[in-house]
Each structure stands twice: as structure tokens, then as C-alpha cells.
Chain A
Amino acid sequence: MRTRLSCCMLMACALFTSPVEAQGWRVLVDARAQATSYRGWRVDSIAAADTVTGSTGGPETPDGYVANCDGGPICRFWRPGAESRGVPAVTTIDATAWGLGLTGLSLHTRGRVGVDLGRDKPWYGPDRTLELVEGYADLERKRYQLRAGRQLVTGRLGWWGIDGGRGWIRSPTRGLEASVYGGWGLARSANLTATSDALNPLGDFQTARRQWAIGATGQWSTTRGSLQAQYHRETSGADGGVTIERGALSAEGLLSRTVGLSGGATYDLTSGLWGSWDLGGRATLGRWHATARMRQYRPLFDLWSVWQVFSPVAYHAVDGSIAVRLHPAIALRATGERYWFDPTETSTPLVSVVNTGWRMSVGATWSATPTLTLDGEIRREFGVGAYANSAQGTLTWTPRPRWLLRANAGHLERPLEYRYDVATLNWLGAGADWRADDRLTLGLGVDRWDETRARPDAAAFAWDQLRLSARITWLLVSDADHLPLPPGRPRRGR
């Protein structure tokens, strides 16, 4: 151990004492805080013998909460929980350094420090106080690239985090690129390891050891199109079982200058099922822009859990959008989607659930002046589990180049199909951004939600909220990225 530490120290000394030319760095500090308060729910129980008959004819608690007894001696009901107040404050630091004496070598890191300044700490736990989103060393040359450290692998399969290494080879003239990677995997869509306590809020099954991840990508690009393939596999560090094994293809092509196609598909090798796929096109004809797409979505669960064996079925949809700029200052848009689920092969004589739905929206943007923009949108959707109707508007104003002011308001109705209440929500918000200079931005915001629930018992409590937010974004740079540019044209006679 001591030998290893000594080696590291020697290497560090060698690096920082050797002559380093044109060293540059860039640090972006983004600090945000948000204050919010809300009241949750709390499950309670009461003996069936103590309930009374409520206005709906069913059992209720003496203080007016509808109770569900299911014929048993004990009934359950929900009453308002304690008010929870949180003030999460998060600082994200994104830093890059280059010019370290080796051509193409750079260091990158993006980390996050978070604390909750409120009394209830509703968001932050000990495992999330310090998060490393990415942190790697990168060596990029014309035909190859090497990267080591915590990094995100992106592609059709999503954003996968690994602690390991990745290497690329590429032929720029032929538009070819291939990469392989491997290391310890991170939890999906999180900056945490699979063993983190923060990933186990309900106290259920959790692995005690991290998983291994390997994968590969390949890409071919031309001026008319692009094709990418990806493979990703993770195995349990505990028993070696495969937890994730998927492949994906993505493609994009130009049929003409104004018409393009894109699409792709994922295949789950562990279950033998197609995951999500889509095929869509977009066209721009003068002032008109239109899209159309067919897609399937099937949730694929990692085999850390048993969810995949419950056979989630695929969701299919066709959707489209159209936008037109009627006038330089006026743009209209509309979207629509029709969707349906595959047969679930379940027998539900007691509960019928719809398996189709639709959603649509229409909106308009009016740039009343170069500095004042109004945007409004109406949305309607009806489908599985719920529906929602909403109307909302936003006003943005830049009275001076460094100022951005916004105000927004909206109205929403949201009944839940499985829940006996209808929520009506009105909200109002305002905010301001001030760009002190090219490197410093300050922002403030306040938003208020007022909710009303149409429920015939005392459980009609709402999630009214007031949120205050503030942020400061500060870019620190060495300006070294401006120095390596070659001299410009001589400007004689000026």
C-alpha cells in the first residue's frame, strides 16, 4: 500500500514539476437552492366497528375519511401527513483542464454537492450529499481516443454510467468509428452505485456487490446518413448472472434537403423481446414543418429485480406534429398522438381498464416585439390510468440584453382513473435572470400551485405549494482556449 502511494506521489510530482505549455482550464460553478413545502399523506386504520356510514353510503371514520374495509375487521384510510419543508441546495461543478504537456490529454469532472437546509431533509440522504457525475481523463488523437474514469456511455440504449475505461478507433475520412468499454457499472439513471442505500428507499432486495459492465459501439456516417450499433451487458458482481444484455440499432438519413428519416430499435437479449423502436420522418417546406412517427415502448427492467417476469406489455403509438410560421412574429403548432397497448392476456372480470388513449396539443407563439414573446398552449389527453386537460401561457421579456423576465400561468384538470377524486390546479409563476457578464448569471423564481380536489370526504386535501428558487452560474476560465487559434488575416488599411 505504501509503495503504491509513493508511486502515485512520484507521478504527481513529475506531472506538476515538468514544464507545461499553454495549460488551460474551464470551471463552471452552478449553485441552486429551492425552498418548498408540501403536505403528504399518512395511512391510518380503524376498526370496522368504529366506522360510520358516510354520505356515499360506504364506511367512513367519525371525522369524515372514507375507509376501505374489504369486509375485514380493520379498515384503512388516508389522512393528511405532516407538512414537509425542504430547502435543497445543490452546487454542480463542471471542470475541464487541458494542455497538460501531452497533446490531446484533458481532464474532465462534473460533481455535485447537495445539502438540505430545511428541517425535514426530504431529498438528501447521506449517500447523495456528494455525487460524482463524471470524472475521467481523456486522450484524443486523430484516429483513436482513450478515456478512463467515471463516465457516461450514451446511445440508443440510454445513458449508462461506468467506472472504467473506453477506447475508440476511427477513420474520419471513411466516417467510421468503433469503441469498446468496460468497468463497474452504476445504477441506471443515477450517479450512484447499485449498492447505495439511496437506491433502496422501500427496504427491498438489493445487491451487496457492484455489477460488471462491458459494451461496444460502432458507427458509420456519411453526409447523407448515419448508422450506429450498440451492445451493452452487465453481470452481477455477486453471482455472475446477467442483469442487463441489450443491443440497439439507430439510423438517420436524408431523403432530400428538406425531408429526413430517423429510427431505431432496441432488443433485450435476456428476455428475447424487442424493447422500444421507432421510425419517424420530418419535413420542412417553406414555413411549414411537419413530423410523423410510429413507435413502440416496452419497459425493460434490470434483472436485479423480478419485475421483468411480470411481462410488461408494449405500448404502441403513432404521433405527428405540424408547425407553421404564419408571420415572422407568429408561429402556430399542433401535435397529436394515438396509442394502444398490446393484449395483456389477463382476466379481469372485476376491473376493466382501457387500453387505448390519445393526446393532442395546440399552441402559438407571438413575438410581439424583438424582446417580448408570448406563448400559449392547450393540451388534452385521455388514456390509461388518467386524463388531463390543461391550458398554460408564458410571457418572456428581455427589457435589456442582460435581463430575462418571465411570467407563466396555467390551469389543469387531472382526474385519476384509479383514484376517486378530480384535481383542479391553477398555478402562477414569475422569474428573472440577470446576466452580469458573459460568465456570471443570477436567477430568481417564485411559483405557486393551488390545487382543489373534488372528493366527497375529508381526504380532499390538496397539494398546494409555494416554491422559491435561486441560482447562480459562474464560469471561470483561463482563456487558454482562445490562445491556440492561428493568427487571423492581416487587416491592412484599418
Chain B
Amino acid sequence: MTRSLLSLVFVLTASGVGTLVARRGPDRFDHSTHATLFPSCVSCHAGAVDAGAALLPSADVACASCHDGKGQRLVTWSPREGPRASNLKFDHAAHPKGGTCLACHADPGSRWMQVRAATPQGCFACHGLPAEHLAQPDSTCATCHRPLSEAPAALTSAQVARFPAPPSHAVAGFGADGGHAAAARAGDRSCSTCHARDFCAECHLDGAILPSISALGPDRRSLALSVNLRGPASHRRTDFERAHGGQARASIQVCATCHTQPSCSACHATTPRAALTLATHDPRPGRDGAVIRTPPPSHREASWASGHGPPAAARPQSCAACHARSDCLDCHRPGPAGGANGYHPTGFLVSHPAQAYGRQSSCADCHNTQAFCQDCHRQSGVVASARLLGGFHDSKQAFVLGHGQAARQSLESCVSCHAERDCLACHSATRGRGFNPHGPGFNADRLKRKNPGLCVACHATTP
């Protein structure tokens, strides 16, 4: 029952809306309804054959003769004033007067006064051009159209926004890769049919000095055309960050299309020489060929933080292009109040023993073993006291007696809690138990030659 009621309500509502829509009637003069009243077109559209007459009839004269409010209801229709809302150059007077109006304004076989607006296809058929409107060569637009900047004010921005784009504009490479530039430089005025200087200047920061753009007239309506402009294909190549410097030096004018100096300084710590020929700034907000500072692919490696040393050492000037020295010093000379989210991830304090043992990265590259590791361990109570007894390393029974392997594998970790005297208590030739600490790779002669004082620490004299 409920469903039936809902259905009834829906049907009634739909029919009511449909009735309202139907009663609004056409906006234009309904020629078909008046088919029996008018024997010829020029009785109302005298301007089609007489250049001095009006193309559209006057409402108070042409309509009011019947629609006087007595026999027929009054109508409020009024003819368009001024030129049509179009940039079409068509002129009735320039066409042969011998032709019939229906040749252009009605479909073949139509009844009398069953008319419509002329279509471009009608023009092409008559002029022997077989192609569809937008498939005509771009260079022929100006044959029938005048530049947008010369179009009457009746042509609104909303109408311009509905201009169809020709197929050529969808061809790969037409956009930011320069295809449209070649067409513009060809010298014809076809681009101006839909575009004006304002449109080009949206992207071309150097538009004012480009002949093909400065030749266009200004017209704000051209901004109604939307363009989804992507960066050139070259910018999407994986080696662009590395290669763009050479490209800029070779042809900075190409860069100047979209970029000013702030584009370069978004990343470069110093202004590159090639960039000095770019404009310093675009006064309009949000321009300058905005560059979002994104790291190159190598920086997005999961292990980049711990692995950037080798490439940075081999080519430091590459880093200096984007990084100031203070960027490096923030990590390589850290302060103790940096907070929890610096180079190391949150929670690193508790996980650092494992990573230090495992040598994932070299702690000593940024931290002084004594001033940093030992000092903190001492304050935490994790230090030895010159007399090595078991206790701390309590998961290994007799660890002291078998610590050699662990020590040679992770000596830096040992040093973070132990001082030399802890080890020399046993590993000294003179004051210890004489356990030999020297292992694989030890070269006594070489060390003695370089620093004989080192040997004296354990041997009293150079051995």
C-alpha cells in the first residue's frame, strides 16, 4: 500500500514538472506555428537581402498586429539588438541573392518555415569543403571567424567557455611540449579565433616579448577557456633533476616560458648563472612557474639517510646546489636539544644498542664516542670501573672470560662504556696479566714507526 502511494506521488510529481517545463515554451520565435501566416522569409527578415534593412522584425510592428491582447494574447518578445553573439564574419549581403533561405536554414525536405540556425556544415557543403567543422585545417579558421578580441561584447565569457577545442589540440605534444608554439609561429591568425593575449599570458611569463603572443589582441574573455596544462614531458623524466642544468644553459629561453628566478631559488641555495637571464619576478601572485621542492629519486630511497655519504663525498657540489651547509651541520654536529624527531626515528634511544652493535651506520661520523656515548652512559650508570667482574652482561655466563670475539666485532660499543684502563687491567705487558690483545691485521712495526708512544702505554718501552 505504502509503495503504491509513493509511486503515485512520484508519477504525479514527475508529470507536474514535465507540464511546467512544457509550458515554458521555446525562447525563440516559433516559426512552425506561424507557417500559414507568412509567405516569404524576407517579409520579416528584410535585412537578409537588403543591407540597409533590419534582419529581425520589430515586435510591436510584426507581432502586435495579431497579438494585440484581444484576438491573441500579448507577447513580450523583442528582437536582438546589436550584432549577434558570435565572432562569425558571415554577412548575408555578401552572399548571392539568388539563393533561397531554406538552403541554409532548413533541412532537406522540411516543411515550410520548419527552420533552424545555419550550421557550419552547410557552409562547407556549399563551398565544396567536405570536412566537418573542427576537422578543417586550423589555418582556415580566420576565413570565417574574426579574432576573439574583435568579437562583439554580446559574446559572453560563458559562451566562450563553451567553444569546442579542435582535434589538433588533443594531439600529444601540443601542450607544454611546444606543438602549439609551432602552430602559433606559423604566422596565421587562426589562434586568435578563440584565444587572446590574456590567455597565453596565463602560462607564458615572457608572453609580452614573444611576437606570436604580443600580436594577439587583449581580451579577458579568453580566460574563460580552461586548459589543464601539465609540465613538459622532459620534466617528468627520471633524470630531469640531474639533466636540467645543462638544458637550462643550452636554451634558457625555453625555461623562461614558465619560470622566473624564484623558480630556481626554490631549490638552489645559490642562484645559478644560467638563471640570471630569467626575469627576477612575476608581479602577479602565484606565478613564477611555481616549483615545488621535491627531493630527487635517490633521496626517496629507504636507506638514503644512512647511505648518502658515498655520493656526497664523490660529488659535493651536487649537494650544494640545493643544500646550505647548515642543513648538513644540523645532523653532523647535533645539539642535545634537538627533540625526538631528528635524524633518528622516534624510539631510537631504546633501540640504539642493537643498531650500534649491528653497525647499520657509523655512530662516530656524527657523535664523539667520549663526549657523547661515554658521557651519557656514565650518567646512566652504565660504565665499568676498572675492575672487570661479571654482572652487567649477565645472559652469558663467564662473559669476561670469553669476551674476545664480541670485543673485536663491536669494539666501538665496548668503548662507549669502558675506558682503556678497564682492558689494560689484563691486556698490558707490564701492569696487567699479559694477555695479548693483538689480532688479525695487527702490524707492530708499522704502528711503532708511526707512533712509538702508543706502544709504551703497555710495553713500557717500544717493543
Complex interface bits, A173-208 against B, C-beta within 8 A gives 1, otherwise 0: 000000000000001111110001011111111000
How long is the Cα–Cα vector from A313 to B440 in the complex, in angstroms? Answer: 7
Q: A258-B239, A306-B457 are in contact. Are A90 and B359 (CB under 8 A)?
A: no
Which B residues are CB-close (under 8 A) to A204? Answer: 419-421
Q: Which residue of A lies closest to B338 (CB)?
A: A32
Expressed in whole angstroms, the minimum distance between the Cβ of B161 and any Cβ of chain A is 24
Q: Digitize B428-463: 1 where CB-to-A-CB distance is under 8 Å, 0 elsewhere.
A: 000000000111111100110011111001100000
Asked if A321 and B303 sit within 8 Å, CB to CB, the answer is: yes
Task: Report whether B365 and A159 are in contact in the complex, using a CB–CB cutoff of 8 Å.
Answer: yes
**Interface-facing stretch out of B72-80, B169-177, B380-388:** B380-388
Taking a contact as CB atoms under 8 Å apart, the answer to whether A350 and B354 are in contact is no
B454–A40 CB distance below 8 A:
no
Residues of A within 8 A of B329 (CB): 94, 110, 133-134, 152
Interface-lining segment among B19-27, B178-186, B368-376? B368-376
Q: Bound complex: CA of A41 vs CA of B385, how far in Å?
A: 14
The residue of chain A having its C-beta at the shortest distance from the C-beta of B214 within the complex is A493
Known: A307-B411, A361-B302. A469 touches B340 (CB 8 A): yes
Contact with B along A27-70 (1 / 0, CB 8 A): 01000111000101111000000000000000000000010101
Given pairs A32-B335, A38-B380, A307-B420, 13 additional interface contacts (CB within 8 A): A68-B390, A78-B391, A88-B336, A156-B314, A200-B370, A257-B237, A262-B310, A351-B402, A406-B341, A418-B406, A420-B395, A465-B349, A494-B283
The residues in B between 317 and 370 inclusive whose CB is less than 8 angstroms from any CB of A are 317-318, 325-326, 328-329, 332-333, 335-341, 345-347, 349-351, 353-355, 357-360, 362, 364-368, 370
Given A88-B336, A202-B378, A313-B440, A241-B401 contact (CB < 8 Å): no
Chain B: residues with CB nearer than 8 A to chain A? 197, 201, 206, 208-209, 214, 237-239, 242-243, 246, 256, 260-261, 271, 276, 278-283, 297-298, 300-303, 307, 309-311, 313-318, 325-326, 328-329, 332-333, 335-341, 345-347, 349-351, 353-355, 357-360, 362, 364-368, 370-372, 374-376, 378-383, 385, 389-399, 401-413, 415, 419-421, 423-424, 427, 437-443, 446-447, 450-454, 457-458
> Once the chains are docked, how many angstroms separate the CA of A192 from the CA of B390?
35
* A114-B335, A311-B408 known; A257-B239 Cβ under 8 A: yes
Partner of A386, one of B271, B354, B452: B354
Flag whether A101 is at the interface (Cβ < 8 A). Answer: no
Partner of B405, one of A124, A346, A431, A449: A346
Expressed in whole angstroms, the Cα–Cα distance for A112 and B329 within the complex equals 12
Q: Is B441 a contact of A311 with CB atoms below 8 Å?
A: yes
Contacts A189-B364, A299-B411; A348 near B404 (Cβ below 8 A):
yes
Query: Which stretch of A5-13, A17-25, A244-252 is in the interface?
Result: A244-252
Interface pairs A-B: 7 shortest CB-CB: A351-B402, A311-B439, A385-B357, A346-B404, A41-B381, A241-B451, A488-B279
Measured between beta carbons, the chain A residues less than 8 angstroms from B403 are: 348, 351
CB pair A349–B402 under 8 Å, yes or no, is yes
Contact between A359 and B358, CB atoms less than 8 A apart = yes
Q: Are B380 and A241 within 8 A (Cβ)?
A: no
Tell me if A386 and B353 are in contact (CB < 8 A): yes
Please state if B381 and A425 are interface contacts (CB–CB under 8 Å).
no
| Contacts A90-B336, A257-B238; A313 near B315 (Cβ below 8 A) | no
- The size class of the interface chain A forms with chain B is 35 or more
With CB as the reference atom, state the residue of chain B lying closest to A35. Answer: B337
28 A-B residue contacts at CB 8 Å? Answer: A32-B335, A42-B381, A68-B390, A68-B391, A78-B392, A90-B337, A114-B336, A188-B364, A189-B364, A196-B371, A201-B378, A202-B378, A242-B450, A270-B451, A285-B238, A310-B423, A312-B411, A313-B439, A341-B409, A344-B409, A347-B404, A351-B398, A385-B354, A414-B353, A425-B347, A425-B351, A445-B341, A491-B279
Decide: A263 and B399 in contact? CB cutoff 8 A.
no
Interface hub of A243, A350, A486 (most chain B Cβ within 10 A): A350
Q: Return the CB mask of A296-313 against B: 1 if under 8 Å, else 0.
A: 010101010111111111
If the complex has contacts A190-B371, A351-B406, are A250 and B314 also in contact, measured as CB distance less than 8 A? Answer: yes
Interface centre among A156, A386, A392, A443, by most B CB within 10 Å?
A386
With A and B bound together, what is the CA distance between A384 and B365 in angstroms? 21
Contact A313 B314, beta carbon cutoff 8 Å? no
Q: A271 with B443: in contact, given A40-B379, A66-B394, A187-B368 (CB under 8 Å)?
A: yes
Task: Take A200-B370, A385-B406 as given contacts and tell me if A76 and B451 are in contact as well, using a CB distance cutoff of 8 Å.
Answer: no
Which residues of B lie under 8 Å from residue A363 when comparing CB positions?
302
**In the complex with contacts A43-B385, A202-B383, A355-B405, A236-B451 CB distance below 8 A:** yes
A463 is an interface residue with CB less than 8 A from chain B: yes
A223 interfacial by beta-carbon distance below 8 Å: yes
Q: What chain B residues lie within 8 Å of A2 (beta carbons)?
A: none
- Shortest beta-carbon distance from B247 to chain A in Å: 12
Q: Interface on chain A toward B: helix, strand, loop, or mixed SS?
A: strand
Contact of B395 among A133, A297, A387, A419 (CB under 8 A): A419
Are B391 and A408 in contact, with the CB atoms below 8 A? no
Given the complex of chains A and B, what is the CA–CA distance between A122 and B377 in angstroms? 11
Does B413 lie within 8 Å of A385, measured CB to CB? Answer: yes
Contacts of A368 in B (CB 8 A): none
CA of A489 to CA of B205, assembled, Å: 10
A307-B420 Cα distance, complex, nearest whole Å? 8
Q: Are B280 and A485 in contact (CB under 8 A)?
A: yes
Question: What distance in Å separates the Cβ of B203 from its nearest Cβ neighbour in chain A?
Answer: 14
**Shortest distance between the CB of A343 and any CB in chain B (Å):** 7
Partner of B307, one of A34, A92, A280: A280
Known pairs A299-B364, A321-B301, A425-B347; A34 contacts B402 (CB<8 A): no
State whether the Cβ of A210 lies closer than 8 Å to any Cβ in chain B: no
A158 to B333, CA, bound (A): 12
Question: Is A77's beta carbon under 8 Å from chain B?
Answer: yes
